[in-house]
């Protein structure tokens, strides 16, 4: 039923609904850290502001994300969704030809990565 709506309800819509209704409810536990819906909403808003302000992201842009599994990955995804940008998830284990193929296929105009994801040439 939700997908039959026009426009269809998205994961971002559901997240925002939960963030409004239950801001202090735990959403994510990572190692010793606990993040609530409110935490993730605030951090994704901050990330969206930085991405829009400093990288001039506009709706419809595809961004390749080359981040390890961490809370940063989640709020980056939410930030991109809030900006109306498509996110192309790139496996951080990809190297060489596999990485080149993933990036070319995604058609992304920007690659977001962390300091720890340097990769190798070739």
| pLDDT-wise least confident of 30-34, 80-84, 98-102 | 98-102
Q: How far apart are CA 31 and CA 37, in angstroms?
A: 17
User: Could you tell me which residues are beta bridge partners of residue 65?
Assistant: 89, 112
CATH of segment(s) 11-113: 3.40.50.980
Over residues 60-69, the pLDDT tens digits come to 999 999 998 8
Which helix (H) or strand (E) segment holds residue 39: the answer is: helix 37-55
pLDDT tens, position by position, 84-114: 999 999 988 888 999 889 888 988 889 998 8
Q: What is the pTM of this model?
A: 0.85
Domain ranges in the chain are: 11-113
Rounded distance between C-alpha atoms, residue 68 and residue 17, angstroms: 27
């Amino acid at each position: 039923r939700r997908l039959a709506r026009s426009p269809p309800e998205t994961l971002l819509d559901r997240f925002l609904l939960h963030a409004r209704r239950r801001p202090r409810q735990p959403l994510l536990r990572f190692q010793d850290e606990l993040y609530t819906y409110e935490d993730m909403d605030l951090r994704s808003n901050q990330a969206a502001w930085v991405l829009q302000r400093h990288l001039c992201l506009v709706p419809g842009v595809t961004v390749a994300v080359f981040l390890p599994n961490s809370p940063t990955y989640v709020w980056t995804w939410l930030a991109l969704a809030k900006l109306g940008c498509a996110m192309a998830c790139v496996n951080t284990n990809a190297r060489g030809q596999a990485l080149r193929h993933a990036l070319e296929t995604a058609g992304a105009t920007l690659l977001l990565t962390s300091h720890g994801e340097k990769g190798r040439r070739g």
